Amino acid sequence: MGIKKHSKLLFLSVFLFLQTQTNAVEGPLSFDELRKGVVQIRVYSQSVNPFSPWTTDPVRAGSGTGFLIGNKRIVTNAHVISNAKFVQVQRYNQTEWYGVKILHIAHDCDLAVLEAENPEFYKDSRDLQLGEIPELNSPLIVVGYPIGGNKVSVTRGIVSRKDQSVYSHPAVDSHLVLQVDAAINPGNSGGPAIQDDKVVGVAFQVATKGENIGYLIPTNVIRHFLTDIEDGKYDGYVELGVRTLNSFNLSLRKAKGIPDSLEGVFVSRVLKNGSAEKYLKEGDFLTEIDGNPIGKNGTVMQDRDARVDFVEIVDNKHAGDKISFKLFRDGKEMSVTFPALRMPDFDFMRNQYDKPYDFAMIGGLLFQEMSRDLITSWSRGGNTSGGSQLLYRFFYFIEDGLNRKKKTDVVLYRKLSHPVNSSSDYFVNLVLESVNGIPVNQLGDLQKILSQSKEKYLRLKFLDVHVPLILDREDAEKADAKIRKTYGLE
């Protein structure tokens, strides 16, 4: 009895679902036309293991979705084609797979542009138009090639939230996202979300907690990417480079002499090499950005239905664009305008793709510049027992201004065992400070020292450790030749 009841209910719900779906495809543009602009992407990729940068991981096959936006360009997610060795595309009515070139890839906003080499691919295709940011509670459809077959699939959802959020492909960058309650699945990645015949977003990630919560990259981010590559290369996002503090607290406002009528936020940190470095000061009270009043909680009105963090305005800018603030400093209201800059200092915190990992070796001791990839593979390898120095410096390098003194940390992250390094375990997972008194502020410094040093001994000084690691330079170099052979480095 119970089972029967249950299946009846199930029947009903599925029926409703199909009904609504049918409604969705009705409209000026038929679904048959729409799907002419949607592309299935097949990818064979191979990544490099940062822990053993001389080796490669196995080849993996995967697939995703893309869509045509005109001028033969196919837009998809960066993560669909990251570390790709071989990429092919196909549309719903085709039997042939066509090879493509990757024209541009932007990991920080998880977008990429491809172009098929064979004009046959574009025959009887349709370019899709980019629309605006959809309203909250408005319906849309997501088109793609998710798991469970290679036929095009459509799923319907509602825009349930607009907010800035971390893009998990780069892991650090935060841009605007649209949250939708549509079933987005692996393979949907890069597929268009359509509303009123226009693309209003690209499906790219899902919530790990909660069911049926998918996220779209909105069109302001897609347009930012397309504008950036107009000059033939991708530059990436600019950073304001400040941390701010809300101004709800009456005592703090009074202590800082902020007039009761002013809304805005306090600048609590100005980051080295950020756009604001020479223009804003810690303690400044920011009241307007580009004419938009900033609230006590740091938000500006974006559309009529959403307040977003004021840095969203900076996020839509390109390097060289002007940023204007009205602010309150030393009891006076004033205005400052300065150009937006990219901040390469953040690059090491981002997941990296399609890049070899440069390393240095002496006496079987392997050195690399600190990066998220290294930290990730290092912690996967179970090397986390010590490492508090590494972890602190990784997560606080910019926050605590460690980048004021040096470009990056060079770490002894691993050793390839050989008698010459038998007593150096103590130093593994520590940051290298200097060799024979010469500071090491990036990997190149170390490589230069290693190639040029004529000293009998190398005295490697590590951060927070008083006593250095001593190597007999010639012995270590001789050992390296053997180590390369034994461990298959060449």
Partner 1 sequence: MYKISILSFLLLFQFGLFAESSLSGESNSITVKKKSFKTKTQEESSKTTSAVSNSMTSAPLSKGSQESYNKSIIQVKVTFQEPEYHQPWKKKSPRVRRGVGLVTEGNRILIPYSLLPDATLIEVKKYSSYSEIKAVVFRQDPESNLALLRVDKKNFFDDLVPLTFSPVVVFPKQVNVYQLDNSGSIQSTSATLLSMDMDQMPLGQIELPVVDLSSSEGLNGFGEIVIENGKVSGILYEFTSAKNSGRIIPSFVIQKFINTPGINVFAYKGFRFRPITDGAVKKYYGMEESDSGVLVADIIPGSSASGVLKLEDIVLEFGGKNVDSKGYIEHPLYGKQVLSFLAHSGDSFGFSLGKEIPILILRDKKKINLSMKLKSFPYEAVRIPFRNIPVTNDFAVEGGFVFLELSEVLLEEWGKDWRSRVDRKLLYLYDYSKFHEKEGTYGKIVLLSQVLPDESNNGFHDLSFKIVDAIDDEPVKSVMDLKQKIRGGKGDYSLISLDDGTEIALNRKQLKEINERINKSYKIRVQEN
Residues 70-129 that bind partner 1 (CB under 8 A): 77, 79-80, 110
Q: How many residues bind partner 1 (CB under 8 A)?
A: 90
Active site residue 6: no
Question: Residues 307 to 346: which contact partner 1 by CB under 8 A?
Answer: none
Place of tokens 């202590």: 255
Other residues' Cβ atoms within 10 Å of the Cβ of residue 266: 22
Residue 399 binding partner 1, by CB under 8 A: yes
- Catalytic residue selected from 52, 189, 275, 424: 189
Residue 148 binding partner 1, by CB under 8 A: yes
Active site residue 189: yes
CB 156 to partner 1: min, Å: 14
Residue 61 binding partner 1, by CB under 8 A: yes
Question: Residues 211 to 230: which contact partner 1 by CB under 8 A?
Answer: 211, 214-215
Residue 252 binding partner 1, by CB under 8 A: yes
Q: How many Å from the N-terminal Cα to the C-terminal Cα in the chain?
A: 69
> Which helix H or strand E contains 165, and what residues bound it?
strand 153-166
Active site residue 175: no
Backbone dihedral angles phi then psi of residue 459, each to the nearest 5 degrees: -110, 105
User: Which two three-digit tokens encode residue 27?
Assistant: 């409209």
> Looking at 100-108, 140-148, 305-313, 329-337, which segment touches partner 1 (CB under 8 A)?
140-148
> Looking at 91-99, 227-235, 396-404, 410-418, which segment touches partner 1 (CB under 8 A)?
396-404
Phi-psi region of 80 (alpha: psi -120 to 50; beta: other; left: phi over 0): alpha
> Looking at 127-135, 334-342, 390-398, 431-439, which segment touches partner 1 (CB under 8 A)?
390-398
Residue 396 binding partner 1, by CB under 8 A: yes
Q: Which residues contact 107 (CB under 8 A, 6 or more apart)?
A: 78, 82, 169, 170, 350, 351, 352, 353
Q: Return d(Cα 279, Cα 341) in angstroms, integer.
A: 12
Residue 255 binding partner 1, by CB under 8 A: yes
Residue 282 binding partner 1, by CB under 8 A: yes
Return the ∠ at Cα 114 (arms to 61 and 237), rounded to 5°.
Answer: 105
CB 405 to partner 1: min, Å: 17
Question: Residues 413 to 432: which contact partner 1 by CB under 8 A?
Answer: 420, 422-423, 426
Strand, helix or coil for residue 301: strand
Question: Residues 21 to 50: which contact partner 1 by CB under 8 A?
Answer: 43, 45
Supply the angle between the helices 372-380 and 388-396 in degrees, to the nearest 10: 150
Choose which of 130, 158, 245, 489 interacts with partner 1 (CB under 8 A): 245
Q: Are 101 and 53 in contact (CB under 8 A)?
A: no
Residue 204 binding partner 1, by CB under 8 A: yes
Residue 281 binding partner 1, by CB under 8 A: no
Q: Return d(Cα 50, Cα 383) in angstroms, integer.
A: 14
- Catalytic residue selected from 79, 169, 175, 224: 79
Q: Return d(Cα 244, Cα 282) in angstroms, integer.
A: 9
Residue 375 binding partner 1, by CB under 8 A: yes
The DSSP bridge pattern shows strands 98-106 and 84-91 to be antiparallel
Compare residues 24 and 319 and give the one whose CB is closer to partner 1: 24
Q: Which residues are known to be catalytic? A: 79, 110, 189
